[in-house]
Amino acid sequence: MNEIDAALPEALLARFAAIVGDANALRAPDMMAPYLHEPRDLYTGQTALVLRPGSVEEVSAILRLANETGTAIVPQGGNTGLVGAQSPRFKREVLVNLSRLDRIRDVDPVGRTLTVEAGVVLKRAQEAADDAGLLFPLSLGSEGSCQIGGNLSSNAGGTGVLAYGNARELCLGVEAVLASGEVIHGLRRLKKDNRGYDLRHLFIGGEGTLGIITAAVLKLFPKPAGREVAYVGLASPAAALDLLKLAERQAGQQLTAFELIPRIGLDFTLRHTQGARDPLESQHPWYVLMEVSSGRSQEEAAATLEDVLTAAFEAEIVADAAIAQSLAQAENFWMMREEMSWAQKPEGGSIKHDVAVPVARVPDFIAAADAAVLDAIPGARIVAFGHLGDGNIHYNISQPVGADADAFLARWHEMNDLVHGIVAEMDGTFSAEHGIGQLKRDELARTKAGAEIELMRRLKTAFDPNNILNPGKLVQV
């Protein structure tokens, strides 16, 4: 039997279980199953043990034992990741799920910070900020189940990046446990602290390969006094780019979201999402979901959005637009955007890409990628949508109608090479906000310059000399 496939000794499993208690050491297949299946069904995890620690001390004890015995540890939050970073690959790997670390430790409305443990669900963090009269702007389609630890470990993006930045920019400090079991007590609430290397940035986006984040200090913002949302119909991504430039000139920092949506993506959503309604009277090839916020008043937000749309109509950039007339309608507009990813699943096989190019190149990228994909797979249904304001496009390819799903999905790597090649020519990235995990690890090694990937390997070895933290993910050593 290959060593990596061999079972862990029963005595060692018992030692791990004793750290968290039998109730939080899962071994039965039916109890472990929810932790081993990820959203896309690309990976089915393997493990002999799922541990659910309830404190940083228990996480520390788990890692001390793992380091002593050379046992691989795979950290997991809400299990919503899309690149397999949270999935154990072998029976010898122990899965550590952090859902029980779910305390909100502190809310500081004066300093505008929120200190939470890694297992706090994103939606709950948003609500805690709202209760304090403030805003935590990280917003994702999975916010009802994804957790802060995972958000930081993957450096999550979402729809608020245009105005507020990604997860890295929303975090002031972290508490993390190293492979040795040592705890980094970095829960600082300071915006200015220049005492040497800022280690939090290694753990953020590190996918649990350098340490396990157990808590974080999040940055909060004043809650907008007014918010207006519009659904806009237009002819092309180029027209959407023109609208973005106009909106940025006229709204400035009040422009808080700008999402590009193709008609086919809206059709899928209307077909498979309860409560979804076509936002405009007539159909258009492309749409933009745009949000304007004001710190002063609802009236100012409304006036700003109306000024943007008036100028866009006068410049013949847009064909039609609907401004949400109620909070419920605004939420419906956003619901249709957030459900777009899931609405592709009933349409059959889908080959997905999470790419970014310079904002000005987005129309060129979509045109070039569409031409190449359709030449390779005639009849493919392309759903290119996402965060035009920061250049991040989810370029997803649904199978032709009636095609064999397995045969289509067998061309995943071929389509990746094709699309990512175009991205590279435009000085872009094949991983904008979903991370690397095991899905993109080898591609990262191929595309990073020699010194860059070598330095990443050295960091991994320095932080985790026995390679027990999420081995085989992000970077191979």
pLDDT tens per residue, range 269-325? 999 999 899 999 999 999 999 999 999 999 999 999 999 999 999 999 999 999 999
CA 389 – CA 257 distance, rounded (Å): 7
- For 365-418, write each residue's pLDDT tens digit: 999 999 999 999 999 999 999 999 999 999 999 999 999 999 999 999 999 999
**What is the residue-level pLDDT of the chain in tens, covering all 477 positions?**
345 567 899 999 999 999 999 999 999 999 999 999 988 888 899 999 999 999 999 999 999 999 999 999 999 999 999 899 999 999 999 999 999 999 999 999 999 999 999 999 999 999 999 999 999 999 998 999 999 999 999 999 999 999 999 999 999 999 999 999 999 999 999 999 999 999 999 999 999 999 999 999 999 999 999 999 999 999 999 999 999 999 999 999 999 999 999 999 999 999 999 989 999 999 999 999 999 999 999 999 999 999 999 999 999 999 999 999 999 999 999 999 999 999 999 999 999 999 999 999 999 999 999 999 999 999 999 999 999 999 999 999 999 999 999 999 999 999 999 999 999 999 999 999 999 999 999 999 988 878 999 999 999 999 999 999 999 999 999
Predicted confidence at residue 1, as pLDDT, reads: 39
Which domains, and CATH codes, for the chain? 3-97 (3.30.43.10), 104-222 (3.30.465.10), 226-343 (3.30.70.2190), 349-426 (3.30.70.2740)
Cβ atoms of residues 350 and 403 within 8 Å: no
pLDDT of residue 39: 86
Cβ atoms of 303 and 251 closer than 8 Å:
no
33 contacts 78 by C-beta, under 8 angstroms: no
Which pLDDT belongs to residue 387? 96
**Tell me, what's the pLDDT at 4?**
55
Q: Which two tokens stand for residue 364?
A: 């060129």
| 256, two tokens | 């808080």
CB 182 within 8 A of CB 463: no
pTM exceeding 0.85: yes
The tokens for 86 are: 């949270």
Query: According to the model, what pLDDT value does residue 449 have?
Result: 76
- The Cα–Cα gap between 183 and 212 comes to 9
